Amino acid sequence: MAIQLPDLTYAKDALVPYISAQTLEFHHGKHHKAYVDNANKLIEGTALANEPLETIIRNVAGDVSKAGLFNNASQVWNHSFYWQCIKPKGGGTPAGAIADKIRTTWGSFEKFTEEFKNAGMTQFGSGWAWLVLDGSTLKITKTANADTPIAHGLKPLLTVDVWEHAYYLDYQNRRPDYLTAFIGNLINWDFVNANLG
């Protein structure tokens, strides 16, 4: 079963003014699609050709000879997850189980916001900031380039893409402004709560 480019669940202009239709067109339609195409070429004719994406990632993680496959497969997974982490009229203070767990872990949503934004701002170069479960413990972490928490035994709940292609057309070098917009207006807390369940 070939790796698929998932459709977005919202229109390309649905995230304006926080993410433009042009950014989504390039980010989803060009960057994400290229990772899908490259990963499919790399698994064609191999024992991994019919494996689920997460299995491929776990099987090749840490194998230097398979770095190209890991990078492309992980970027497919990370991006597919990221699209679900955002929605029109999202963001702001969460409700439900994730809100309780955030308060228990960080003391307040404001403290969580500060630390999550800091993780995104301090990720040097390209990468991702994550809210993950490590066992039953909430943690904020970051990964460089294509790395992903699923290669390290962690359960992702939320991610923000801090590769420049995620925000540069809209924010240029103002990554902090992009992160503020993401947290305040885009996070799909229903999806995060579903991942927690």
User: What is the pLDDT at residue 2?
Assistant: 86
Which residues of the chain fall below pLDDT 50?
Answer: none
User: What is the pLDDT at residue 1?
Assistant: 56
Q: Helix/strand/coil (H, E, C) string of the chain?
A: CCCCCCCCCCCCCCCCCCCCHHHHHHHHHHHHHHHHHHHHHHHCCCCCCCCCHHHHHHHHCCCHHHHHHHHHHHHHHHHHHHHHHECCCCCCCCCCHHHHHHHHHHCCHHHHHHHHHHHHHHCCCCEEEEEEEECCEEEEEEEECCCCHHHHCCEEEEEEECCHHHCHHHHCCCHHHHHHHHHHHCECHHHHHHHHC
Full set of structural domains in the chain with CATH:
21-85 (1.10.287.990), 97-196 (3.55.40.20)
pTM: 0.97
| Per-residue pLDDT reduced to its tens digit, 101-128 | 999 999 999 999 999 999 999 999 999 9
